[in-house]
Amino acid sequence: MFFLKAKQLDIKTGNSWIAVINEVDGRRFDLKAGDELVLNWRNKSTDIVIDLTSSLVEPGEIGFFQDVFSHYEIKNGELIGLEIARHPVSLKAIRKKLLGERLTYKEIYSIVSDIVEYRLDEVEIAFFIASAFAHKNFSQKEIYYLTKAMALTGPTFNFGRKVADKHSTGGLPGNRVTPIIVGIIGSFNICIPKTSSRAITSAAGTADTFEVLAPVTFKAKEIYNLVKKYNACLVWGGEKIAPADDRIIKVCYRLGIEPYSKMVVSIMAKKVAMGVKYLVLDIPVGKTTKITTYKKAEEIKELFENLAQRFKIKTKVVIHRAKGPIGRGIGPVLEARDILRVLEQKENRPKDLEKKAVELSGELLELIGRARKGEGRVLALNSLKNGKALLKIREIIKAQGGDPNITSDKINLSNYKCNFLSTKTGKIIDINNKDLVELCRILGAPFRTQAGVYLDKTIGEKVKKGETLCTLYAPNSNYLNLAKEVIKKLKIFIIK
């Protein structure tokens, strides 16, 4: 083992397992670019790949990019012990899976643990994904093992009471029912610690949207304290909860795939980690949604139910046909405004968003035993009408560091906007979800929170030639001008 001092480099690479040493030290220790080392510090260790430099760090130093410092909390100037890395045991398990063999829990745990500790790089993770998530290449038992390992390699929670949750497989623009459901369920003093995702290929994730109203990034201890005090939270589940999932998602995104079995494991691992015991799962099905057929939805339902049974989570899976978006706003700020309009019971609130939130909240109230069969929706709607759901969300916003007095009228929209007009008279019979999301991302969503599209007209509504179909919002004129050209080539609205 040899020792070098840590130096923070003002560069972010997106890879937490790369470090830089001076060429002098490379010659001294017989190291070359691409070699793998084991880092040892404060009773911690991880594998890392080294690059060589003549100027970024001095001899005797090892340079870490910002990714490493933020992930491992290494101190600037800290003495780091280094040694040549051996091949991780998990690689043997990955090779075994590539040959089509079944893996034990111990082998799967070794893979997941090494993903979390950055002992496996993106290429090695890609081989695991390709081998494990091929069609029916994972047995039900292996899916269970993987879910358990992903949950247990991060923090787990025990809030000392019944924990409820709702999740959607996604694929519909808008559809931002989760904060409304958290407000409704939380208003009944039911524990609902909601961890949500950020957008990967969509216009906004729940975490992106709620971040318009309050911070969503918290450490595990902070999440625990929030829930113990307020019985609810709405936070990003990212790198801390089931942390392997974040790296696997990034590799899936680069490969352009998201196997359904991987999606199920990702969702359920976070539920297990959060101690959820009552779960309503929403599976939208439609030709331009994530899940396109009822047959596939039934297969996914079976996967969910099998895992739920193994983890003793009482679960209701709701499959429903979905055509176009739910709600009017698509993009973080516009979706946040829709949420508040429903909670405030504004006259111009999106009724379809309200209806969906009430239906799923009702299912959850019945599942947990707070309402009798058929009465859950009535209780959920009453929570909206009497303002208790709004009060609960304002309590959560304040607890997480936001402004509890925020209203839908105070949401700041971008000044860079334009109307998209109908070229014909008729009735909107369909909206292409994929093209709509593509337009929102061209406008800058979700990373530019004010970017997005507001649907002035939606499915089932009549429109006249020259009337506004939707309003485009962008962070600046460059985004807006590009979107104005692109929208002419997309077929978002089907009018007959």
Domain definitions of the chain by residue range: 2-84, 164-234+268-399, 416-495
Predicted local distance difference test score (pLDDT) of residue 238: 65
Query: Which residues, 6+ apart, have CB-to-CB distance to 123 below 8 Å?
Result: none
Which range (35-44, 276-285, 454-463) has the least confidence? 35-44
Looking at 3.40.1030.10, 3.30.2090.10, 3.20.20.140, 3.90.1570.10, the CATH number of the domain 164-234+268-399 comes to: 3.40.1030.10
Predicted local distance difference test score (pLDDT) of residue 15: 67
Q: How does residue 393 score in pLDDT terms, banded at 50, 70 and 90?
A: very high
Q: What is the 3-state secondary structure (H, E, C) of 335-369?
A: HHHHHHHHHCCCCCCCHHHHHHHHHHHHHHHHHHC
SS3 50: strand
Measuring CA to CA, how many Å separate 132 from each of 136, 217, 235, 259, 286?
9, 31, 30, 10, 27
Higher model confidence: residue 396 or residue 98? 396
Q: What is the CATH number of domain 2-84?
A: 2.40.40.20
Predicted local distance difference test score (pLDDT) of residue 378: 97
Predicted local distance difference test score (pLDDT) of residue 382: 98
As a whole number of angstroms, the distance between CA 208 and CA 257 comes to 22
pLDDT surpasses 90 at 74: no
In the chain, % of residues over pLDDT 90: 76
Q: What mean pLDDT value characterizes the chain? A: 92
Q: What is the CATH number of domain 416-495?
A: 3.90.1170.30
CA angle, residues 440, 357, 278, in degrees to nearest 5: 115
Q: How does residue 230 score in pLDDT terms, banded at 50, 70 and 90?
A: very high
pLDDT surpasses 80 at 350: yes
